[in-house]
Structure 1
Amino acid sequence: MSKLKSLLPLLLLFFLEPVFAQFTIDASLRPRFEYRHGYKTLFPNNIDPATFVSQRTRLNFSYKTEKLHFYLSPQDVRVWGDVPQLNVADENGVSLHQAWANVLLVQNLSLKLGRQEIVYDDQRLFGNVDWAQQGRSHDAAILKFEPNNTKIHFGAAYNQDREALTGNTLTKKTYKSLQYVWLHKNINKVSASFLFLNNGLQYIDEIDESKNETRYSQTAGVHIDGALNKFKFSSNLYYQFGKDIANNSLEAYLISLEAAFKPTKNLNLGLGGELISGNEYGAPKDGKNNAFNPLYGTNHKFNGFMDYFYVGNHIDDVGLLDLHGKVSYAFNTKSNVIVNFHKFFAASKIDSDLSKDLGFELDLVTSYSITQFVGVKAGYSHYFTSEGIESVKNNYDGNSNNWAWIMISIDPVLFTWSENKTTNK
């Protein structure tokens, strides 16, 4: 009888399974005022600067159990005034940013399906582009194997315009298909990742539809993060090959190295450099393209906040050498200030008679937390030009180029419910 009593708890654990469930609703409201006088490109003569308020509104629903995580995030993105006050219908900006389910198949192995953000490492090749009010998300499937200190992800996506009876041509400005593998390993204070991406872009022949095809490029490389006492460092090394959409042979690379030093609790100093290969005179030649494309990364995070490079621009151009520094200081737990410096050079020849100097950028950003769910950020950037950047941007007007903004983020948690119980297996 005593033996049976001792076995009873084990029998109960076998036949009863603990169940955890959590449901959360949170929201995001983010209006941002911008003054653009040379943002993304040099400011032309006889044109007024742009001023506007854009706003992103999201409502996020999350339901999570031990074996399922379901997430839904509809959003509205607009510019104040783009819909009249008495408009009977709002046709602008409403979309579904995320709608996915992550299903646990067996221990450490799960499958994530649906519209989702894909974010890896420092977001150099895959990022959510959160600065953009609309953000970036993909319709994709990701198989995840994540044992202790190791992550292996296999991702795939295939895009089409619509359900159809015939034809397979994608006309929208996105990739046709992609497949990738991402491996990540943590070892003490060092983490390393390997990424291989097969990226397919749709080529469309305007005369002969039968010649439409998907042309694939491949990107492979590593990202490393490390820490040693008060020092931190990170590095990227990527190589790009295969074919671009114009059927040129790709031979391109990206190399970066950054180091940060924290001499005091409130002060952080950083130095770094990034070299992105490009084409001489700004265009592919003789069927070869030497310009690296960072593809689906959060490019606003890199190469200056004024977005002169790789934010919808500077693709297949002369490349970039970015030597940069950073000083950040936290006044307290609620407020800080960040100053970034960037000195830019072309990675390849701009013109036989021009220096590779692409100018200098200064970025200043400050932030303050008003409450737990409310914060404000403001920034000012100034671009100091050179003959090289005037040639690359095809503007010789000699105007000053600056950009200022202020943004309020309101991110409340509206509702949270959780339950722990046991059920029969």
Structure 2
Amino acid sequence: MKKLLHVQSCSVLLFALLISRITHSQISLQGQLRTRTEVRDGLGNLAKIGAKPAVFTSQRTSLNFGYKWDRLTFGMNVRDVRVWGQDAASINNADGSKLFVHEAWAEIVLANIADTTIKFKAFDNLSLKVGRQELIYDDVRLIGNLDWLQQGRRFDMALLKAMKKGWQIDLGVAFNQNSDAFGRAGTFYTAGNAPTTVANSKGAYVTIPSDFLPTSGKGGAPVLASPLSTNGQNQMFKSMQMLYLSRKFGLTKFSGLVFKDDFQKYRIDSLGSTANGVVYGRRYDVEGTNSRLTYGAMLTGLVGNASSKLGKIAWQAFAYKQGGKNRDGQEVTAFHYGANFSVQKGKFSFGPGYEVLSGNNTVSPDGKDHRFDPLYGTPHRHWGYMDYFYVGTGAAAGGLANAFVKTKYVANPNLYFTLDFHNFALANDMKNGLDASVGKIARQLGNEFDFIVNYNLNKFTNIELGYSHLSGTNSLEYAKLGTMDKSKHSANWAYLMLNIRPDFFYTKPVAIKQ
């Protein structure tokens, strides 16, 4: 399988190079080699007392092919993701492949006001994009390609894109299935990336059926998965429908989002027997889905300019609500709101912000789920670079209040520095399950500093150096790990990232002598 994928990738490259000789303007071919060396001592979760830092280098290698002709645009991104040394120097047929198709889509123009051969003029532009594709909207707070992760994020879907008098209108739909095998009945869907084997209660490994998802206990969280966020991708939706609207009014932009994701219903089940070992889990063979609805709007704007007396002010405000039912069938009523601004004066910019993602009051629960789930965005960009919240490691049940200040200094077009500060706290009270006499834990979770140096070595090469420090509390340890005084409350993370993105058809301009 791995050999076949490599042959296919080489075939795409050779085909592109051949065709490009005929139609240079219609073919694009870019590559990427991105390595990231990291020193982790508490990234994502507080490290246990006495634990040593982890050091490793991960690598993304990708080939992005594009073709455009008349009313058709085609794109394909083949990506390989791995950690240095993860594979033996000489692999065998039993080794799995990490080469995969990240994107493969085609976009067909259905209407274009500038094209006189198209009679349909109800929209300025109307196109249909079908296939495996990235979604990037606004500041990728709720919908994004998660590009920080080497593997990124993409969706298999259809997207109808329209433009009308300055309005952008996108309608998206997706419907997921596990297999197209003969004899398969119904449309039941099991969460993606489910393990094929798992150890039972006696320690013996057993094979897992395709419609069964192992859990950590009777009806508990999925094995090796975060129970609190779809951002961890441990519970992919069965289907989704999306509407996105946006329009600029001068220097102010309005954008609205309605996103409905549907999760397959399940029943509690088990494999095996008490004598031979049991695997608890969820059986996804129940008719119907649990549907969740997220909706809201964002405003962004600019005032002034960088050379004026007050400088250029960029501002943002947003509010979103979540309702319906979560993937477990519990009623949802949650919210997310915030605002921030940044003042740029010359080469320096500075700005504060504050945002809240609602959570559950576990001291006085009311039976509803009040945890706002930030859907399929890019948490790394918004809630600290150390990825403690709304990623694969989970987030506090009490939600999050994030007060922050972000600064940036641009030394020259190829070099800039950023320094961010976050103060994290619970948005709601959480019960102290370790000491009933206390009642609840303190809301303060900790502070984080993120520092980055970014330098463009040349047109195709970028170097990024980062360092982050988090000072946590016992409340953070309890909210994330369920313990107190068992982990180090000081966490550090550093990385060096080399990002090389060549354009294989780029020709350096040559000065013409007079």
Q: TM-score, normalised by structure 1?
A: 0.89
CA contact (8 A) 1:293 1:315 kept: no
For residues 176 and 288 of structure 1, the distance between their equivalents in structure 2, rounded to whole angstroms, comes to 22
Match of 1:224, as an amino acid? L
1:126 alignment partner, SS class: coil
1:388 alignment partner, SS class: helix
Aligned length: 397
After TM superposition, give the deviation of residue 281 of structure 1 in Å.
2.5
Report what 2:408 is aligned to.
Answer: 328
For residues 294 and 256 of structure 2, the distance between their equivalents in structure 1, rounded to whole angstroms, comes to 11
2:397 alignment partner, SS class: coil
Distance 1:138 1:350, change over 3 A: same
Report what 2:102 is aligned to.
Answer: 97
For residues 332 and 88 of structure 2, the distance between their equivalents in structure 1, rounded to whole angstroms, comes to 48
1:169 maps to 2:174: no
Report what 2:447 is aligned to.
Answer: 360
Of 262, 268, 275, the residue aligned with 1:200 is 262
CA contact (8 A) 2:465 2:496 kept: yes
2:412 alignment partner, SS class: coil
Report what 1:42 is aligned to.
Answer: 46
Distance 1:100 1:280, change over 3 A: same
1:25 alignment partner, SS class: strand
For residues 82 and 394 of structure 2, the distance between their equivalents in structure 1, rounded to whole angstroms, comes to 27
Of 343, 367, 372, the residue aligned with 1:287 is 367
For residues 450 and 268 of structure 2, the distance between their equivalents in structure 1, rounded to whole angstroms, comes to 44
After TM superposition, give the deviation of residue 314 of structure 1 in Å.
3.6
For residues 405 and 51 of structure 1, the distance between their equivalents in structure 2, rounded to whole angstroms, comes to 10
For residues 295 and 250 of structure 2, the distance between their equivalents in structure 1, rounded to whole angstroms, comes to 25
For residues 353 and 24 of structure 1, the distance between their equivalents in structure 2, rounded to whole angstroms, comes to 58
For residues 259 and 284 of structure 2, the distance between their equivalents in structure 1, rounded to whole angstroms, comes to 27
After TM superposition, give the deviation of residue 270 of structure 1 in Å.
1.4
CA contact (8 A) 2:316 2:340 kept: yes
CA contact (8 A) 1:20 1:65 kept: no
1:186 maps to 2:248: yes
Distance 1:221 1:132, change over 3 A: same
Of 471, 482, 486, the residue aligned with 1:397 is 486
Report what 1:12 is aligned to.
Answer: none
For residues 505 and 185 of structure 2, the distance between their equivalents in structure 1, rounded to whole angstroms, comes to 46
Match of 1:37, as an amino acid? D
1:381 maps to 2:456: no
For residues 44 and 148 of structure 1, the distance between their equivalents in structure 2, rounded to whole angstroms, comes to 57
Alignment of 1:259-270 (within 5 A): 259-264=341-346, 266-270=347-351
For residues 249 and 206 of structure 1, the distance between their equivalents in structure 2, rounded to whole angstroms, comes to 19
Of 102, 108, 112, the residue aligned with 2:129 is 112
Alignment of 1:88-167 (within 5 A): 88-89=92-93, 91-107=96-112, 108-164=125-181, 165-167=184-186
Q: CA RMSD in A?
A: 1.9
1:71 maps to 2:75: yes
2:345 alignment partner, SS class: coil
Higher mean C-alpha deviation, range 82-91 or range 231-240: 82-91
1:310 maps to 2:386: no
For residues 102 and 406 of structure 1, the distance between their equivalents in structure 2, rounded to whole angstroms, comes to 36
For residues 313 and 213 of structure 1, the distance between their equivalents in structure 2, rounded to whole angstroms, comes to 29
CA contact (8 A) 1:204 1:213 kept: no
CA contact (8 A) 1:292 1:316 kept: no
Q: Unaligned 5+ residue runs, structure 2?
A: 1-22, 113-124, 193-234, 270-282, 305-311, 432-438, 508-514
Q: Which is bigger in relative contact order (C-alpha 8 A, separation at least 6)?
A: 1
Higher mean C-alpha deviation, range 25-34 or range 159-168: 159-168
For residues 376 and 209 of structure 1, the distance between their equivalents in structure 2, rounded to whole angstroms, comes to 46
For residues 209 and 412 of structure 1, the distance between their equivalents in structure 2, rounded to whole angstroms, comes to 45
After TM superposition, give the deviation of residue 312 of structure 1 in Å.
1.9
1:42 alignment partner, SS class: coil
CA contact (8 A) 1:22 1:416 kept: no
Higher mean C-alpha deviation, range 195-204 or range 176-185: 195-204
Spell out, residue by residue over 1:53-109, the C-alpha distance to the aligned partner (whole angstroms, 9 max, x if none).
000000010001331110000000000011111114562311110000010011201
Report what 1:8 is aligned to.
Answer: none
Spell out, residue by residue over 1:253-288, the C-alpha distance to the aligned partner (whole angstroms, 9 max, x if none).
000101000122x10111101110000138x94430
After TM superposition, give the deviation of residue 212 of structure 1 in Å.
4.5
After TM superposition, give the deviation of residue 149 of structure 1 in Å.
2.0
1:43 alignment partner, SS class: coil
For residues 92 and 237 of structure 2, the distance between their equivalents in structure 1, rounded to whole angstroms, comes to 35
CA contact (8 A) 1:59 1:73 kept: yes
1:415 alignment partner, SS class: coil
Report what 1:410 is aligned to.
Answer: 500
Match of 1:220, as an amino acid? Y
Spell out, residue by residue over 1:3-48, the C-alpha distance to the aligned partner (whole angstroms, 9 max, x if none).
xxxxxxxxxxxxxxxx995101110000100111000011102332
Distance 1:316 1:169, change over 3 A: farther
